[in-house]
Amino acid sequence: MKKKSKILKRDIIKEIAKSIDLPEYKIEEVVNEFISEIAGNLSEGIDVEISKFGKFSISGGYEKPVYNINNKTTEISKISKSAKFYSASALLRLLNS
């Protein structure tokens, strides 16, 4: 059997539902709320740390001056926000064991 190279949210939901004997739609509600909570906090600039897993944070979202060589002026460029994930040492140990 070929080893999976990725797992989707629906796969995770199925596995959790099977392991704790709850309907998939209930697990999906919890997973969606979990993701929503993380995204909501990040959008407000609040880091999200999950013990033994890792930390989600936002970088960027600021303006900086840049020199435009075409018209020889300084302009303000907005740096886009991006989400970052930093693995906890416990997760790294698990991955490398």
Q: What are the residue ranges spanned by the domains of the chain?
A: 7-44, 47-97
Quote the pLDDT of residue 1: 46
Query: 44 phi and psi, to 5 degrees?
Result: -95, 5
Quote the pLDDT of residue 33: 98
Residues 17-36: tens digit of each pLDDT: 999 999 999 999 999 999 99
Burial track 81-94 (b if 16+ CB lie within 10 A, e otherwise): eeeeeeeeeeeeee
Distance between CA 5 and CA 11 in Å, rounded? 13
The residue type at 18: K
The CATH code that applies to domain 47-97 is 4.10.520.10
* Degrees, nearest 5: CA angle 63-69-75: 25
Strand partners, 63: 78
